[in-house]
Amino acid sequence: MWEAPTLTLHVGRDVVELTGPPGLQPLAAQILSTALALPEFTRTMRGLGSRRGTVGADHDRFFAGLLAARRAAEGLAEPESRLAAFDSQRLSQGLTTLLGELAAERYPESGPDRRALEAELLEHAERMYAALETLGQAAEQVRASTPPSRLGHWRQWTSSAQRLFEEADRCWLAVMPALSEAPVPAPRRRFWRRATGMVMLLPAAAEATAAALRAAART
Per-residue confidence in pLDDT tens, the chain, 219 aa: 777 788 888 777 888 888 877 778 888 778 877 888 888 888 777 777 655 546 588 989 999 999 999 999 988 888 999 999 999 999 999 999 999 999 999 999 999 999 999 999 999 999 999 999 999 999 999 999 988 888 889 999 999 999 999 999 999 999 999 998 877 655 555 444 444 444 444 455 555 555 554 555 555
Class of domain 40-209: mainly alpha
Radius of gyration of the chain (CA): 29
Return the pLDDT at 185. 53
CA dist., res. 159 & res. 165, Å (int): 10
What is the pTM for the complete model shown?
0.75
Residues in CB range of 158: below 8 A, 6 or more apart = 38, 39
Return the pLDDT at 94. 96
CATH 1.20.120 domain locations along the chain? 40-209
Please, is 66 exposed, middle or buried when counting C-beta atoms within 10 Å of its C-beta (0-12, 13-18, 19+)?
buried
Return the pLDDT at 157. 95
Return the pLDDT at 195. 46
Residue 53, number of CB atoms within 10 A of its CB? 18
CA 214 to chain centre: 66
Q: Which of 23, 161, 6, 143 is nearest to 88 (CA)?
A: 161
Q: How many residues does the chain have?
A: 219
From first CA to last CA, the distance across the chain in angstroms is 105
Q: Which of 104, 37, 91 is nearest to 64 (CA)?
A: 91
Q: Which of 19, 81, 141 is nearest to 1 (CA)?
A: 19
